[in-house]
Amino acid sequence: MAKILIVDDEENIRNVLREYAEFEGHVVMEAVDGMDAVKIARENDFDIILMDVMMPKLDGFSAVKEIKKTKDIPVIMLSARVEEYDKLFGFEIGVDDYVTKPFSPKEVMARIAAILRRGKHHGKHIVSDGLEIDMVGRNVTVDGKKVFMTPKEYELLFYLVNNAGIAISREKLLNDVWGYDFYGDDRTVDTHIKMLRASLGPYRNKIITLRGLGYKIEI
């Protein structure tokens, strides 16, 4: 269970997100604009914030910057603006994820779960069957034996683990793991997934191929 602040000036969007979040056992508070969100965040502690971008009085980006001055709360931005500039700016100010409207409430719930798992696993060993992953120490062991991988394999594995259970497109993997300035194609991702699976040996099937989309890891 998590405590979530939903910030959006559209009541219908707040109602839908609240319904899905409460169905999954989360506690929800709402704010109707950026200024309202800053005030509520100062007076309450939250595990995650869903923040709309375009709102009256104070926009979502400005509200996030203000909240981040005093509290380190994960934020998922919700926006009808799809320009790359907006997404990059969001990540630069500390946003954890960016979802464009119209969106699936189920997808938003899945992204919330991924971020909450990331916080739960931060600084800890993750053990799944005979696979052990230490993201801080940058160590991976398979059935007690240390595995040596390329730097990009480590980055790819840790990214997948931080988003465990989430379907991730090849394009998003290229953007987030290789960077926006990488000039390559989907084959780069497929090649490194093949290498990573080989490194994981008997646990290679934890990385699942999603035909026509990308990959996800189940741990």
Same domain, 171 and 191: yes
Same domain, 93 and 163: no
Hey, is 78 helix, strand or coil? strand
Q: Cβ distance 122 to 174 under 8 Å?
A: no
Indicate whether 132 and 113 sit together in one domain: no
DSSP string, 107-127: HHHHHHHHHHHHHHHTTSEEE
How does pLDDT run across 6-54, given as a tens digit for each residue?
A: 999 999 999 999 999 999 999 999 999 999 999 999 999 999 999 999 9
pTM of the model: 0.59
CA angle 181, 174, 83 (to 5 degrees): 65
Are 112 and 151 members of one domain? Answer: no
CATH code, domain with 89: 3.40.50.2300
105 and 130 in a single domain? The answer is: no
Same domain, 62 and 129: no
Query: Does residue 107 share a domain with residue 90?
Result: yes
Q: Which of 74, 104, 119 is the last residue of a domain?
A: 119
| Structural domain of 14 | 3-119
- In this prediction, residue 94 has a pLDDT band, given cuts at 50, 70 and 90, of confident
Domain stop point among 119, 136, 167: 119
Domains identified in the chain, total number: 2
Strands (E), 18-74: 27-31, 48-52
- Bond into 102 cis (ω within 30): yes
Whether residues 140 and 113 fall in one domain: no
Q: Are residues 94 and 136 in the same domain?
A: no
Question: Domain of 184: which CATH number?
Answer: 1.10.10.10
Tell me: do 173 and 105 sit in the same domain: no
Q: What would the pLDDT profile of 130-147 be if each residue is shown by its tens digit?
A: 999 987 778 899 999 999
Same domain for 16 and 108: yes
The overall average pLDDT reported for the chain is 87
**Per-residue pLDDT reduced to its tens digit, 49-92:** 999 999 988 999 999 999 988 888 889 999 887 677 777 888 88
Residue that finishes a domain, picked among 104, 119, 134: 119
Instruction: Kindly state whether residues 93 and 172 are assigned to the same domain.
Output: no
CB atoms within 10 A of CB 108: 20
Q: What average pLDDT does this structure show over 111-115?
A: 84
The pLDDT value given to residue 14: 96
